[in-house]
Structure 1
């Protein structure tokens, strides 16, 4: 049997997904050696790849400021390249420039 993403798989490795989808939580055997984890269990966890630390697990707190609006906007390529060339945070700087323009052009 051929699997496009992983190559050939043997028939004894096949899972009956229809049966898995039909299972209810109470049908699943819960192993005492593998209990469910909580958010507190992951506090301070460190992610490692090949023995090198690549990051820590963090949970995101409540949004401190009102969220920004995500939208699709057409902007001239030279303007985008100018802001991108300023490095990380370029979108925030673009937002700040627009805010400054709005403040200067508000009707008094």
Structure 2
């Protein structure tokens, strides 16, 4: 599954949970009462936190690759990024490792 679809589905799951809550026990009147506004605000905070946590987990392999790229040193050959993560991220890591290998062989 591509990174785009993974992020889309994570966001869709969070929004679906919010909609299900709004269809269930949570109601909003006109005008919005203070208690209702506080419940909606608390729900928004929970949604944002859940979304942030899920995105951090989903994008963790990219963060690891970024750290590996930042610490790559052609003067110390042989260091490679660990290939982790789904499809596109694993391919990006493999491509980075191949690039390092080519640069090291050219440098030698």
TM-score in terms of structure 1 length: 0.28
Q: Which has the higher contact order (CA 8 A, sep 6+)?
A: 2
Q: Who wins on radius of gyration, i.e. which is larger? A: 1
TM-score in terms of structure 2 length: 0.28
Instruction: Point out the structure with the larger helix share.
Output: 2
Instruction: Point out the structure with the larger strand share.
Output: 1
